[in-house]
Amino acid sequence: MKVLVAIKRAIDYNVRIQIRGDASGVVTEGVKHSVNPFDEIALEQAIRWQETGDADDVIAVTIGSESAVDQLKTAAAFGCRRVIHIAADREVQPPVAARLLANVAEAERVDVLLMGKQAIDDDCGQTGPMTAARLGWPQASFASHIELQSSSARVTRELDDGLETLDVDLPAVITTDLRLCEPRYLRLPDIMRGKKQTIERRSIDEFDVSEAPSLELERVTAPPKRTRGQLVNDSDALIAELQNRQLL
């Protein structure tokens, strides 16, 4: 069983996001970046399979600038036996990422392509389904529990109205949700081992894909500030205020 985990470099979830003055995006310079948290969950699940013998080989792949190598070293610290960097000097949108990941998955002949359900920087959630469509593989998104079998996987999905369990044939694309597992804290020896891991480098030019963006970002604005709440003395005053605001 071979597992490919796709990870993305994203602004760390603890960072307070700042909007650029010209509203062209968010400030990324001098800001801490980490592995996208949902992808980190995918990494943890894949390594657990490797430790229990359910997976023989776990490979991590990322697409991005040279800075993304830091996140691959984190994947190596988790325990990935191989890490692949596809160098791209500009933003890679989901349609292009899906083509690249599909090419790598086919070339490596993996059984499972695992990735987070979405990235916290753009919240698109499109790369997983698009990659499955490119490959012609079954997919299971928003996974909160996965049971691997010899030629299939049973996946419990989190939906707005409850849980859904699917049996999908392998190879398949599975995207991970928050409650699948909790990523481990990396120990110093693991981090040092990850820093020494050999990075397999590829260029986006090696793939038959176009980097031309299909989506155009027009403007980024901060959400409106919340107004201060109003204290009321009793339920009658609350009902009266709601009626006054035409909420009842």
User: What is the per-residue pLDDT for 23?
Assistant: 82
Q: What is the CA radius of gyration of the chain?
A: 21
CATH class of the domain whose range is 2-244: alpha beta
* CA 39 to mean position of chain CA atoms: 4
Q: Please say if the pLDDT value at position 211 is more than 70.
A: no
Report, as an integer, the average pLDDT of 121-137: 91
- In Å, what is the CA distance from 132 to each residue of 2, 109, 157, 232? 17, 14, 16, 53
pLDDT band at 72 (very low <50, low <70, confident <90, very high): very high
Q: Please say if the pLDDT value at position 212 is more than 70.
A: no
Report pLDDT digits (tens) over 18-28. 888 888 778 88
Q: Please say if the pLDDT value at position 111 is more than 80.
A: yes
Report pLDDT digits (tens) over 47-67. 999 999 999 999 999 998 898
d(CA 31, CA 19): 13
User: What is the per-residue pLDDT for 161?
Assistant: 87
Report, as an integer, the average pLDDT of 25-43: 90
Q: At what angle do helices 37-52 and 69-78 cross, to 10 degrees?
A: 30
User: What is the per-residue pLDDT for 135?
Assistant: 96
Domain definitions of the chain by residue range: 2-244
pLDDT band at 123 (very low <50, low <70, confident <90, very high): confident
